[in-house]
Amino acid sequence: MVVAVFTIIIAIVIAVKVINDVGSGEADLPENIVPSKETLIDNLENAGYTIENHSVMSPNDSDIAGTRIVAKNKDSYIDICYGLNNENADEVFAIYEAEYGDTDYYILAQNGYYVYCVSDKKTFRKSGFSSKANIGIQYIRE
């Protein structure tokens, strides 16, 4: 009897833990979806992409602090900005919309404090993104 009650209590605790983990949405947080700078660079260098690393968003348009990484391999690319805050993420996304709006991209997004444009699904996967989930603005061209 004691073992049965103990087993039921353990099952309830596990069920509550699973419900809390799923309900918390932590898996869908931008920092759990967007690869770290280091992971992105390692993944894409290993896949043959050339990497450009800038300490500001764009020397021509703005002096927004952050890190902008542009990786290219033939026609494939990712252009991503890290280290933004809410206000300058909005500004960077507007710059990306103007810069990439007429191009043939796969995904253009502002996901939390990250802004990125990716040319194709293969580059998106190779970069290390865990999903297309987004907290913000996102345009996807399938």
Distance CA 2, CA 80 (A): 57
- 10-residue mean pLDDT profile of the chain (142 residues): values are 41 34 65 96 98 74 82 97 90 92 93 96 96 94 87
pTM of the model: 0.79
**What are the residue boundaries of the structural domains of the chain, listed by start?**
1-26, 34-140
User: Which residue from 41, 37, 59, 61 is spatially nearest to 50, judged by alpha carbons?
Assistant: 41
Q: For position 63, what pLDDT does the model report?
A: 72
- Residue type, position 25, single letter: G
Beta bridge partners of 126: none
User: Which residue from 114, 118, 113, 110 is spatially nearest to 141, judged by alpha carbons?
Assistant: 118
Q: For position 57, what pLDDT does the model report?
A: 64
